[in-house]
């Protein structure tokens, strides 16, 4: 066993299930060494030009500019609102404007007092962790967030390695991104960050080498930019569309990819409900995170008759005991152009709730679909749900996990629960390489078979009930004893990965 450090990092914590499963299956010692750390850790910097900003004055500062007359600055497109309350000041805003500036401060009618902050070049730290490629090209998302670190990306890249093995797609694991608060930057600046990120990574990624995808704060538009940056100037660009997945369907994305992670989560929840003899109809659900994964999960569950009683995101929590009107909430977040943060906050259809009460609401199913480390021992101790479906990566801490298990609250571990995204990414990649376009029905049918079969294998391993059923064969993965679902999922991943090393051997 690896020597434990005093203070555990996120990576150490995320590897606990790996070590448990490795012990149980007597993982080959050299395979264990290969899998304990990433193949490559790329840490680099990117620089981009940023524009001037209008930064709102604090109430204390406002007093000294009370007499400042308003400037007739042309708003509209020329003053681009940012989700953090600032504006990007495009020079055309000043054309024909009548401006009164005092100490760099100006008053914009109806908007208030702002200080002009000079733009210029900025530097951001960026990462790409290529964890393992024994089963196929490195594969994993790109995250733009202010709290990312090498340690976090190592954990997420390791998770991708287990996840691709669990859904049995021929990929390895990777993850990366940029340390940036995307809410503080304009569309154009985020575009520059995305392009520069791929410019620096160009020699390290490729359709048969490492295939990025969307993750937190990245989306199909960003994937399109990344693809173009990679293909630009190449002789055979059409053969390279598979360099990223999660693209818009009109440019080589797969039908069904947008909702695939949420749909995969729902397939797992359906299997759990079938096993526990419960119906999803009328069941009460808590969803944390209303981005790509949370909103799709909520929408599909709502469609299946479940009641989504509360949704929480980074800015607010909304609650309705009778079940939120999810189509209206989606409209509020995604069709309302004023809602720059795409937040549930301010939703007129339901009252808001204090953030700290969210996890303790009376419900059947909790779906953490935001960031990691949310369900700590303290949270787990007071949750009232019957199952936690981990749509996010690493939402439960090891202490939280222990408490949930002790309280007999079921867990659908992240490495199967949110694997729908990478599964359909594989279908997208296949379609790109074959230049095909599959229907959404075909994609979803394949996804359903894949997720439900592998979920069933994990459950059989956990219950030590190996079987050869029409849908799956869990016999090669049984370990002769019962275990928890998280360890069982890792057993499945490690057995599939280990086979490659043992059958192919090691290059010296
Ligand atoms: P996203 O950026 O689309 O949405 C993130 C959501 O989480 C937003 O609603 C945001 O407001 C919310 N959030 C952020 N911080 C929060 C906080 N402190 N409290 C409550 N809510 C908070 O991201 P996404 O793609 O939906 O990813 C969500 C999770 O799912 C991540 O853990 C990601 O790694 C995981 N995941 C995503 C995919 C995918 O296909 N996008 C696949 C597998 C796993």
Contact call for residues 343 and 349 (beta carbons, < 8 A): no
Report the separation in Å between the CA atom of 497 and the middle of ligand 1, taken as the mean of its atom positions: 28
Please give the average per-residue pLDDT across 460-469, as a whole number: 98
Q: Model's pTM, two decimal places?
A: 0.94
Report the separation in Å between the CA atom of 294 and the middle of ligand 1, taken as the mean of its atom positions: 7
Which of these ranges, 28-42, 77-91, 158-172, 284-298, has the smallest mean pLDDT? 77-91
The pLDDT value given to residue 77: 66
pLDDT, greater one: 74 or 63:
63
Is the pLDDT at 411 greater than 70, yes or no?
A: yes
C-alpha–C-alpha distance, residues 90 and 189, integer Å = 12
The pLDDT value given to residue 6: 66
Determine which residue's CA is closest to atom 16 belonging to ligand 1: 314
Which of these ranges, 73-87, 254-268, 329-343, 481-495, has the smallest mean pLDDT? 73-87
By DSSP bridging, strand 173-179 and strand 138-145 are: parallel
Runs of H (alpha helix) within 394-484: 398-406, 414-417, 420-434, 440-463
Tell me the catalytic residues: 175
C-alpha–C-alpha distance, residues 391 and 401, integer Å = 15
Computed over every residue of the chain, the mean pLDDT equals: 95
Report the separation in Å between the CA atom of 21 and the middle of ligand 1, taken as the mean of its atom positions: 27
Confidence tier at 22 by pLDDT (50, 70, 90): very high
Which atom of ligand 1 lies closest to the CA of 294?
Answer: 26
Determine which residue's CA is closest to atom 13 belonging to ligand 1: 314
Give residues (CB < 6 A) around ligand 1.
214-217, 261, 288-294, 312-314, 369-371, 391-393, 418, 421
Query: Which residues are bridge partners to 117 per DSSP?
Result: 53
Report the separation in Å between the CA atom of 343 and the middle of ligand 1, taken as the mean of its atom positions: 12
Which atom of ligand 1 lies closest to the CA of 419?
Answer: 43
Which atom of ligand 1 lies closest to the CA of 218?
Answer: 2
Which atom of ligand 1 lies closest to the CA of 315?
Answer: 11
Determine which residue's CA is closest to atom 40 belonging to ligand 1: 421
Q: Could you tell me which residues come within 8 angstroms of residue 201 by beta carbon, excluding any fewer than 6 positions away?
A: 42, 128, 176
Confidence tier at 337 by pLDDT (50, 70, 90): confident
The pLDDT value given to residue 428: 98
């Amino acid at each position: 066993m690896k020597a434990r450090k005093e203070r555990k990092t996120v990576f150490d914590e995320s590897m606990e299930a790996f070590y448990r499963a490795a012990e149980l299956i007597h993982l080959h010692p050299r395979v264990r060494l290969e899998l304990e750390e990433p193949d490559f850790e790329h840490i680099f910097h990117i620089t981009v030009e940023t524009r001037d900003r209008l930064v709102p004055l604090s109430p204390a500062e406002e007093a000294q500019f009370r007499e400042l007359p308003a400037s007739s600055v042309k708003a509209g497109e020329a003053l681009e609102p940012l989700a953090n309350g600032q504006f990007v000041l495009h020079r055309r805003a000043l054309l024909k404007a009548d401006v009164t500036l005092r100490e760099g401060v100006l008053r914009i009618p109806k908007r208030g007092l702002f200080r002009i902050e000079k733009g210029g070049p900025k530097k951001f730290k960026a990462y790409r962790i290529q964890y393992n490629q024994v089963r196929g090209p490195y594969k994993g998302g790109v995250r733009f967030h202010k709290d990312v670190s090498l340690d976090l990306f190592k954990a997420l890249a390791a998770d991708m390695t287990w996840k691709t093995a669990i859904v049995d797609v021929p990929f390895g694991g990777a993850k990366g991104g940029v340390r940036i608060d995307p809410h503080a930057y304009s569309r154009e600046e985020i575009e520059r960050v995305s392009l520069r990120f791929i410019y620096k990574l160009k020699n390290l990624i490729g359709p048969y080498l490492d295939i990025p995808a969307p993750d937190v704060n990245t989306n199909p538009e960003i994937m399109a930019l990344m693809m173009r940056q990679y293909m630009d100037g190449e002789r055979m660009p059409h053969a390279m569309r598979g360099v990223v997945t999660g693209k818009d369907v009109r440019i080589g994305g797969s039908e069904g990819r947008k909702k695939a992670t949420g749909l995969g989560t729902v397939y797992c929840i359906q299997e759990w409900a079938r096993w526990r003899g419960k119906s999803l109809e009328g069941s009460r659900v808590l969803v944390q995170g209303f981005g790509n994964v949370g909103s799709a999960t909520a929408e599909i569950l709502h469609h299946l008759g479940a009641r989504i009683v509360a949704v929480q995101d980074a800015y607010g929590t909304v609650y309705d005991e009778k079940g939120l009107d999810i189509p209206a909430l989606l409209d509020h977040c995604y069709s309302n152009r004023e809602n720059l943060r795409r937040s549930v906050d301010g939703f007129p259809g339901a009252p808001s709730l204090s953030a700290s009460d969210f996890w303790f609401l009376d419900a059947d199913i909790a779906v953490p679909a935001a960031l990691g480390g949310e369900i700590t021992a303290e949270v787990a101790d007071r949750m009232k749900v019957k199952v936690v479906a981990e749509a996010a990566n690493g939402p439960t801490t090891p202490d939280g996990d222990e408490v949930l298990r002790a309280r007999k609250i079921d867990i659908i571990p992240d490495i199967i629960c949110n694997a729908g995204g990478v599964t359909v990414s594989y279908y997208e990649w296949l379609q790109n390489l074959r230049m095909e376009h599959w229907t959404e029905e075909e994609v979803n049918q394949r996804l359903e078979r894949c997720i439900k079969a592998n979920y069933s294998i994990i459950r059989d391993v956990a219950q030590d009930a190996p079987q050869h059923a029409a849908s799956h064969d869990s016999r090669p993965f049984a370990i002769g004893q019962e275990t928890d679902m998280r360890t069982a999922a890792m057993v499945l991943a490690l057995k599939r990965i280990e086979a490659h090393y043992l059958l192919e051997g090691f290059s010296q």
